[in-house]
Amino acid sequence: MFKFFRRKKEKEEKKEVPEKEQLKSPQEEPPKEVEEPQKEEKKSGFFSRFKKEGFFEKFKKGLAKTKERLSETFSDLFEVDRVVDLETLEELEENLILADLGVDTTLALLEPFKDRVLKGESLTTRELKNFLREQMLSFLKEADSEFPPSGSPGVLFFLGVNGVGKTTTIAKIGKKLKQEGFSVVFVAADTFRAAAIDQLKRWGDRIGVPVIALQEGADPGAVIYQGITYAQKHNADVVLIDTAGRLHTKYNLIEELKKMVRVVNKLVPEESQENIIVLDATTGQNALNQVEHFSQAVPIHSAIITKMDGTAKGGVAIAISHKFNLPIRFIGLGEKEDDLVPFDKKAFVSAILPN
Ligand code: GDP
């Protein structure tokens, strides 16, 4: 079922890894205390581990608040099978909008059903429930590329405003990748905040992933250059890049992000890159504005939605995927390293709709 997180295959004829080479950044500054990317023993598969840990239970629990918000509406609506009238549909619209599906997505979601009711068809609430399930599933886009992208190395470029959970998510994914036998490198390209660099380094130490970082205020493009060339020299599989997320300041984030992606493009072919926007579910519809804003800078290939555990606004996932045609790779369900689960649209729809 969960095919998108590929397992690392044994590398045949892996090139000889040179003894720790001295790297030179464009600024002639060596990376600080980097280690060889570690390969850990491959244990059982990534997804079977999730299943063992009660994947669906975790998923459901994480979405409990969203379900709670919707359950009153749904229990009134679906308890007894009856014919749906326009008033019922309008009430449902209101409630879906409140669960943060947003106006556009809610209207698009219900429109075909509403049209049939307006034409005088007699449709029941059971038919409405089945229709809703199918529509929600079709609004949630699936990724058609493998995760992580293969390449020398594959690059995951993380975007998002400060505080959404980018760094934490990078750590969570880095840990999972390591467990799956990938060798991983982190790049601290949010050079604006010393705290951001330190945070990534702390995570790197904790989970045993080398972190390429320069000093605060350094050119983010230079750190990226250094991180990718380091990964190439050491035959690492995946580079995860943390970026700045400041908005509303004189700093031109859009231009900086464009420059950063140009550096990635010079070193790695397009098919080996995935630009991932990280969004905080608690911000609800504001997350949509963030996608709009960041997509001016770079093409966005997928989204990760964090903090689903603390919000009733989980419906925003449907709006994001529908409006921007974006697959959702993972959702964050807490602050700890293991509080990240792959997004599964069937589990998601089952978690928010009654059986
Ligand atoms: P960044 O500025 O985008 O890099 O955000 P951080 O990674 O520093 O995260 C900001 C805060 O959100 C931290 O306190 C994280 O622990 C917290 N956080 C991140 N992901 C989640 C999540 O899925 N659930 C919850 N409850 N908190 C999260």
Could you read off the pLDDT of 4-25 as tens digits, one per residue?
Answer: 456 564 444 444 444 434 333 3
Give the pLDDT confidence of 21-46 residue by residue, as tens digits.
433 333 434 444 444 544 444 433 45
pLDDT, tens digit (0-9, with 9 covering 90-100), for 102-115: 999 999 999 999 99
The amino acid sitting at 125 is T
Give the closest residue (by CA) to ligand 1 atom 26.
334
Convert the pLDDT of each residue in 283-312 to its tens digit. Answer: 999 999 999 999 988 999 999 999 999 888
CA 292 to chain centre: 16
- Any atom of ligand 1 within 6 Å of the Cβ of 334: yes
Q: How many A from CA of 307 to the centre of ligand 1?
A: 7
Q: Which of 161, 100, 89 is nearest to 129 (CA)?
A: 89
- The answer to whether the CB of 309 is under 6 A from ligand 1 is yes
Strands 328-332 and 340-342: antiparallel
Cβ of 195 less than 6 Å from ligand 1: no
Give one DSSP letter per residue of 79-112, joined into a string. SS--B--HHHHHHHHHHHIIIII-HHHHHHHHHH
Report how far residue 309's alpha carbon sits from residue 332's, in angstroms, rounded to the nearest whole number.
7
Q: What is the mean pLDDT of residues 145-159?
A: 95
User: CA–CA distance from 34 to each of 16, 23, 205, 230 (Å)?
Assistant: 19, 10, 10, 9
Tens of pLDDT along 273-283? 999 999 999 99
Q: What is the DSSP letter of 160?
A: -
Q: Which of 234, 212, 236, 225 is nearest to 34 (CA)?
A: 212
Could you list the beta-strand ranges (E) of 193-260. 211-212, 238-242
Q: Which atom of ligand 1 is nearest to the CA of 332?
A: 23
* Residue 212 DSSP SS3: strand
The reply to whether ligand 1 has any atom less than 6 angstroms from the CB of 290 is: no
Q: Give the predicted TM-score (pTM) of the model.
A: 0.87
E strand spans, the chain? 154-159, 184-188, 211-212, 238-242, 273-280, 302-306, 328-332, 340-342
8 vs 45: CA distance, rounded Å: 10
Indicate which residue's Cα is closest to atom 19 of ligand 1: 165
Token match 């599989």: residue?
A: 237
Residue to mutate, 63, 159, 168, ligand 1, most ligand atoms under 8 Å from C-beta:
168
Q: Which residue has the higher pLDDT, 16 or 56?
A: 56
The CA 332 to ligand 1 mean position distance, Å, reads: 9
The answer, yes or no, to whether any atom of ligand 1 lies below 6 A from the CB of 168, is: yes
Q: What is the mean pLDDT of the chain?
A: 85
Q: Is the CB of 165 under 6 A from ligand 1?
A: yes
